[in-house]
Chains A and B, each alone.
Chain A
Amino acid sequence: MKRITRRSILAAAPSALVLTAVPARAEKQYGPGVSDTEIKIGNTGPYSGPASSYGTIPKSMAAYYKMVNDQGGVNGRKINFMSYDDAYSPPKTVEQVRRLVEQDGVLLVAASLGTPTNSAIWNYMNQKKVPQLFVSTGATKWDDPKHHPWTMGWQPNYQSEGRVYAAYIVEHKPDGKIGVLYQNDDFGKDYLKGLKDGLGDKAKSMVVIEAAYETTDPTVDSQIIGMKAAGCDVFVNTGIPKFAAQAIRKAAEIEWKPLHILSSVGTSVAATLKPAGLENAKDLVTDFYIKDPTDPQWQDDQGYKDWLAFMDKYYPEGDKTDAGNVYGPSVSQTVVQVLKQCGDELTRDNVMRQAANLHDFTVPMLLPGIKINTSPSDFAPVKQIQMARFDGERWRLFGPLISGSVTG
């Protein structure tokens, strides 16, 4: 739960904003950063520092906007994507976002990366009434239109995913002993909370080992050994690719074969499973909302082919095995859709209105069937996920599209 003081002050601020769907009016109305030829969009991301591996996400976004501009822009206006480095440091994010809003005069800030970084600017954006759209993090707190009407998430949040895992475990191993590997920060702890909430009263008895790791830890071998020794027969592995891969490999090494659930963060065939050993990853279960570009099943998929062409032309130096490079363009497509829906009424008010007015919008690299829907009371664009099992070569999707909906 978030901690805000003097809620009353903040609650008063958004009452001016009316979040009803209003059709775009005919005359031009421009907010800051907009002209007849240009729309300025702001963004921050970790181009340097400890999280610089995620720096490719904003880079892929920039490439995508370049493609949009080459194809004529949005309603005739080119997108000026201004992205700054915050080194994943919240004070730096505050500085860069203030620069974007106060000095560069952007219309909105799109898809800034990170939970603590976005938390740092959360109140500022809502006080200044600048759209903080589609933040690149799965933290649950962003779906809060009542108190933070200017902020919206995008991907399915981690707690929802955790609950889905809980439901799956309860269905398939109701008496299981669960070991959880999680990153010792907001992202990892959110998964853990979702899992435990989903298990409800059974959490205390089922979750036997909660093993944290820090990103500076060299290995997680010790945690895996501990889980096997404790008799765990269910393993919820929410690590980022490096640690997820280490865990998969170690489990195989010590001949521990639990019901192994991987989080959507660590599913990439090339980035996680291959290094871990494809044979070791057999029978892993996970959830997906976005297509893994390294999974052979999408080879002939039109969305994948288009994405590949985009990468070849606009971001050739980007790593085609990095899921972040699928995430970036997908979020950007959503931004472009919002801007399109605004028409000529490109004010911040209307941007938020249109962002809360997405109906069955599809993005090619999301799983087939997943549709983006938002409303004034529903700030979770992508809610659906689907489970999959690894067969040693590719992920086999199974079951229905599950709608996870935990709000912050």
Chain B
Amino acid sequence: MTIPPQETAVLTRERPRGAAVARAGPRHLTIGVAIVVALLLPLLTTSFVTFQLTLVMIYGLAILGLNLLTGFNGQFSLGHSAFYGIGAYTAAILMDQGELAYYWTLPCAGVLCFAVGFLFGLPALRLQGLYLALATFALATAMPQILKFHPLEPLTGGVQGIAILKPDPPPGVPLSADQWLYYFTLAVLLVMFGGAANLVKSRTGRAIMAIRDHPLAAAAMGINTALYKTLTFGVSALYTGVAGALGAIAVQFVAPDSFTFLLSVSLLVGLVIGGVASIPGCLVGGLFVLFVPNIAESISRGLAGAVYGVILLLVIYVMPSGAAGLARILTARLASIRSIRTEGRST
């Protein structure tokens, strides 16, 4: 029995080329619009809000670092405050004592954090789940203590911390220091987010995710799990370290108690709210981490912590998979509505 040609087309339903582009289109359009908006924002708003948005981007980048490790590779980390702190102190020390220009501190912080992350990732290979969590927690707790450690004070400034000056825009550029820092951070953000997106889409990314989902199968398929896991630790630390360096430059001050375990918890909260394993979600996470405590405070100063907790719970109930999960559900609904409509039309 032969199948009539038009039915074959229906049966095979090969998506026409245009449709593939059309599917990618809305996404690229959204990103484009977002970038344009981001470029315009500092010119339309006050210095203070620009400063806040810079911090949002910085936290988003730090969360992306955590996301690479925990979201994409399944290694649970409570220690990213340590990498953030190492990056921040690297920038502060190099700018304060080394008189290094601020933009060079970013690669330095990145490289140092990559090394530390990679080295930490080696023993971490043997640990899973909560055991790994404890090891990373140890790292997070050790960081402030080491920074306060007396013999290291000439380098780290001890408990008094280090103050640095905000970089000025290059001569001839008609921007304020805040605006310049915003654009600088935005540029770094775009480059690093782009890099992460590429990494995730590549074969390496698939290997990393395979290790998260089915470590045994991945190993059986020939993926060098040990190498990928430690590399991911390093890259993750690099991202968060660069964020830390930017953070030090933006806040113009580093002190040991800015980088405690509680910062790790904040990053984790941001990761979950934004959506685990979602790259754009990291920015939502950054927005949450910066603004929601302010919102909680405006509701009740005395019970700010409790209100924050309640908001957190509500958000988890409404979007258990984070903002990215919610976005996925909504776009799927929209797509199914749209396909129902088009099918209705074609039959």
A102 & B253 in contact (Cβ 8 Å cutoff)? no
Known: A3-B96, A3-B160. A84 touches B251 (CB 8 A): no
* Residue B8 CB within 8 A of the other chain: no
Interface-forming stretch among A85-93, A233-241, A323-331, A341-349?
A85-93
Known: A90-B253, A102-B47. A47 touches B301 (CB 8 A): yes
Interface-forming stretch among B48-56, B108-116, B119-127, B188-196?
B48-56
B297 & A116 in contact (Cβ 8 Å cutoff)? no
In chain B between 124 and 163, which residues have their CB closer than 8 angstroms to a CB of chain A?
145, 148, 157-163
Question: Measured between alpha carbons, how far is A52 from B293 in the docked complex, in Å?
Answer: 14
Cβ 8 A contact of A185, one of B159, B251, B293: B159
Known: A90-B253, A91-B55, A91-B258. A2 touches B159 (CB 8 A): no
B255 & A120 in contact (Cβ 8 Å cutoff)? yes
Question: Measured between alpha carbons, how far is A92 from B257 in the docked complex, in Å?
Answer: 12
Cβ 8 A contact of B252, one of A9, A92, A94: A94
* Residue A95 CB within 8 A of the other chain: yes
B51 & A119 in contact (Cβ 8 Å cutoff)? no
* Residue B165 CB within 8 A of the other chain: yes
A94 & B251 in contact (Cβ 8 Å cutoff)? yes
Known: A49-B305, A85-B293, A90-B253. A122 touches B163 (CB 8 A): yes
Known: A48-B308, A103-B46. A2 touches B258 (CB 8 A): no
B47 & A89 in contact (Cβ 8 Å cutoff)? no
Question: Measured between alpha carbons, how far is A124 from B48 in the docked complex, in Å?
Answer: 13
Size category of the binding interface on chain A: 35 or more
Known: A91-B247, A94-B251, A119-B253. A102 touches B48 (CB 8 A): yes
Q: Dominant SS at the B interface? A: helix
In chain B between 283 and 325, which residues have their CB closer than 8 angstroms to a CB of chain A?
290, 293, 297, 301-302, 304-305, 308
Question: Measured between alpha carbons, how far is A9 from B308 in the docked complex, in Å?
Answer: 41
A94 & B148 in contact (Cβ 8 Å cutoff)? no
* Residue A222 CB within 8 A of the other chain: no
* Residue B326 CB within 8 A of the other chain: no
* Residue B211 CB within 8 A of the other chain: no
**1/0 contact string of B19-54 vs chain A (CB within 8 Å):** 000000000000000000000000000111001100
A98 & B48 in contact (Cβ 8 Å cutoff)? yes
* Residue B262 CB within 8 A of the other chain: yes
B157 & A47 in contact (Cβ 8 Å cutoff)? no
* Residue B209 CB within 8 A of the other chain: no
Interface residue ranges, A against B (CB under 8 Å): 1-6, 9, 47-50, 52, 55, 59, 83-85, 87-92, 94-95, 98-99, 102-103, 115-116, 119-120, 122-124, 141, 184-186, 189, 214
